[in-house]
Structure formats: structure tokens, C-alpha cells
């Protein structure tokens, strides 16, 4: 199993702002994550068009997904961060770093915030923070933000790496 970050790279365990914390997504987050996802189904279906996620998601399936993300984080093959309030009482969203499947990019970064936070502008603040964090703390040279800095239509047309 190959890592997509250099072996000497120390993966950030968290990022904290005055508003939220990003930390490794784990199975311990299953209930709060499930509530955040299922309260935001319509919004999330637009974040990842054509995937069908999270329609029909069950608590058990969410547990499996979170376990998968946690194991990939431990194996350094992808990195999923939960976005929580500073007191950890509520999941606000997630951020994912995946090896890029598209030519010209070394990482695909996806993120979402719960629908109830959109009107407060949290999605844009998260995007700004993640772009800055990626540039300053991660080893990636050409990050892609599909559906954000690259439209879904353009993304789909890009050749595979």
C-alpha cells in the first residue's frame, strides 16, 4: 500500500481556528457525523454530483465509511478530517485529501459544511482556511479543488493521470 505523501512528512493531526477544529475523522464520530450528513442531504448531493451520496445512507454504512477513512488516514493513503465545534459537541462538516486521479494535480481536496451553516458563510471560510493550510503545511504542489476552483464539467474532461 503506497502513501501519497513522503514518508518523512509529518501529517497534521489537527487545525484549529477561533471557530472550528479539523481533526482525523474516526469511528468515534459516527453519531454526530451521521446527523450532520443526514441533515444536509440535499446540499451534499450538489457537493458530489452524480455520486448519489448520501442518499440512503444508514448509520451502519456511515460507521463503515468512517472506519474506512480512519484506516486510510493511518495508512497515509488518504486523509479525512472532521470539522467540529471547539467543544466537540457538533460536526460542522468534513475535509478530504485524496491522491489525484487527474493529470496535472497531486491531490484532490473535497470539503463540505452542514447545510445549516451555509447562510453564515462557513463554507467559504473553510475553503479559505484549507487553501492556506494546504499551501503552508502540506507537501502538495498542485492541489485540485473539484467543484470549487475547477468546475465539475472541466474536471470530468481532464485526462486521468
- In the chain, the domains with their CATH numbers are 14-157 (3.40.630.30)
Q: Global pTM?
A: 0.94
CB atoms within 10 A of CB 37: 21
Phi first, then psi, for residue 16 (nearest 5°) are: -125, 135
Tell the residue number behind the cell numbers 445549516, with chain if given.
Answer: 116
Tens of pLDDT, residue by residue over 72-124, are 999 999 999 999 999 999 999 999 999 999 999 999 999 999 999 999 999 99
Grid cell of 6 as nine digits: 513522503
Tens of pLDDT, residue by residue over 8-28, are 999 999 999 999 999 999 999
Beta strand 143-144 with 107-113 is parallel
Alpha-carbon distances of 3 from 8, 30, 37, 100, 107, rounded to whole Å: 11, 26, 28, 12, 12
Burial class (CB in 10 A: 0-12, 13-18, 19+), 91: buried
Amino acid at each position: 500500500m503506497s502513501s501519497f505523501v513522503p514518508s518523512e512528512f509529518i501529517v497534521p493531526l489537527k487545525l484549529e481556528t477561533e471557530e472550528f477544529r479539523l481533526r482525523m475523522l474516526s469511528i468515534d464520530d459516527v453519531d454526530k457525523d451521521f446527523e450532520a450528513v443526514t441533515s444536509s442531504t440535499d446540499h451534499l448531493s450538489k457537493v458530489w454530483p452524480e455520486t448519489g451520496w448520501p442518499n440512503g445512507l444508514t448509520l451502519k454504512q456511515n460507521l463503515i465509511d468512517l472506519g474506512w477513512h480512519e484506516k486510510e488516514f493511518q495508512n497515509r493513503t488518504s486523509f479525512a478530517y472532521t470539522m467540529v465545534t471547539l467543544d466537540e459537541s457538533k460536526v460542522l462538516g468534513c475535509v478530504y485529501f485524496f491522491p489525484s486521479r487527474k493529470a496535472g494535480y497531486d491531490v484532490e481536496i473535497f470539503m463540505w459544511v452542514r447545510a445549516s451553516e451555509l447562510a453564515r458563510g462557513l463554507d467559504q471560510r473553510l475553503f479559505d482556511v484549507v487553501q492556506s493550510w494546504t499551501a503552508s503545511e502540506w507537501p502538495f504542489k498542485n492541489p485540485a479543488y473539484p467543484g470549487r476552483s475547477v468546475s465539475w464539467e472541466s474536471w470530468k474532461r481532464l485526462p486521468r493521470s
